[in-house]
């Protein structure tokens, strides 16, 4: 499918086409979260992009704070291919003086559902923010008075910081969806640190607090990335209802997948960025009031309690 990362192509074309869109067109598909991983608590506090690793320092964007630049792995001529419980005595979400969250326990895999048995559902939106579709999603959510979770891509958040702030100002939860949307289980440890650490650092600068949740692109967690996620104080989040809206199957199909998959504790995966998400917005306008009529409470993702 054609993939317009961060919605930049049109705007840059209007500016004369001097700079190519950072995203590359390509085909890809979502997969479910890996369940392989390590257990046990992370052993040290790591500041976002600033604390020491075993070698004494982090590398790339996560260590240097060069958030206005590409990560170190993004060489010239190589386009981006886009598309735990806390320690005992440490409340979940605790933030240290450096701005970093304290480490959480390393999970075996991503949380696929909300905790509890009450009739709650979490709506989640990936790959934004997008200059057209994110405001449209926010408008629908606002009209129905519900809160959702947005897993943002660092590059897009850097391009549209006002939209990240708008998401948070509307009361929604902002999570980490990596810096450039790679498949984390295919990366070196250093690269994963750059992808997750750089995005957490940027969100801390924009919102005054680092994210407590992370979602791996394509749901592709492995042992190393789960450890880094925990060191950064984030819970890994997956989904139980996949709308596959990235494939643009039609608003009616997206709506049907949400309604048929809805149950207590469900986490619904949709997208507000990464391409034309008009079908996703149209479907949301129909299935959201239906979910409310069915007695579901729409809530941001809450896991790890």
Catalytic residues: 126, 271
Taking the C-alpha atoms of residue 231 and residue 224, their distance in angstroms, rounded to an integer, is 11
Which burial class, exposed, middle or buried, applies to 145 when counting CB atoms under 10 A from its CB (0-12, 13-18, 19+)? exposed
Helix (H, G, I), strand (E, B) or coil at 267: strand
Please tell me the distance from the alpha carbon of residue 205 to that of residue 99, in angstroms, as a whole number: 9
Largest separation between any pair of C-alpha atoms in the chain: 56
- Grouping H, G, I as helix, E, B as strand and the rest as coil, residue 281 is helix
Token representation of residue 301: 């993702």
Residues 151, 217: Cα–Cα separation, whole Å: 10
Radius of gyration of the chain (CA): 18
Given phi > 0 = left and psi -120 to 50 = alpha, else beta, which region is 115?
beta
CA distance 144 to 239: 22
N- to C-terminal Cα separation, the chain = 38
Q: Give the pair of three-digit tokens for residue 88.
A: 């005992």
The strand pairing partners of 18, in sequence order, are: none
């Amino acid at each position: 499918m054609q993939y317009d990362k961060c919605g930049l192509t049109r705007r840059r074309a209007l500016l004369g086409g001097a700079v190519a869109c950072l995203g590359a067109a390509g085909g890809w598909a979502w997969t479910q979260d890996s369940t392989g991983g390590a257990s046990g608590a992370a052993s040290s506090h790591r500041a976002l992009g600033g604390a020491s690793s075993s070698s004494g320092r982090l590398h790339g964007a996560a260590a240097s704070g060069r958030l206005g630049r590409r990560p170190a792995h993004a060489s010239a001529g190589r386009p981006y291919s886009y598309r735990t419980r806390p320690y005992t005595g440490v409340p979940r979400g605790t933030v240290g003086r450096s701005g970093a969250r304290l480490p959480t326990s390393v999970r075996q895999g991503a949380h696929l559902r909300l905790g509890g048995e009450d009739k709650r559902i979490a709506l989640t939106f990936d790959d934004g923010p997008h200059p057209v579709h994110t405001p449209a999603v926010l408008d629908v959510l606002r009209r129905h008075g519900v809160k959702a979770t947005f897993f943002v891509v660092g590059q897009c958040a850097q391009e549209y910081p006002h939209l990240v702030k708008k998401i948070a100002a509307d009361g929604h939860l902002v999570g980490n969806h990596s810096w450039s949307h790679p498949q984390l289980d295919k990366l070196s440890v250093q690269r994963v640190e750059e992808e997750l650490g750089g995005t957490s650092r940027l969100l801390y600068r924009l919102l005054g607090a680092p994210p407590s949740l992370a979602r791996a692109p394509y749901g592709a967690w492995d042992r190393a990335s789960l450890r880094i996620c925990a060191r950064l104080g984030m819970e890994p989040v997956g989904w139980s209802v996949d709308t596959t809206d990235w494939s643009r199957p039609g608003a009616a199909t997206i709506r049907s997948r949400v309604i048929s998959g809805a149950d207590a504790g469900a986490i619904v995966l949709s997208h507000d960025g990464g391409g034309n998400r008009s079908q996703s917005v149209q479907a949301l306008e129909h299935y959201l009031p239906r979910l409310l009529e069915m007695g579901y409470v729409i809530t941001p993702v809450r896991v790890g309690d």
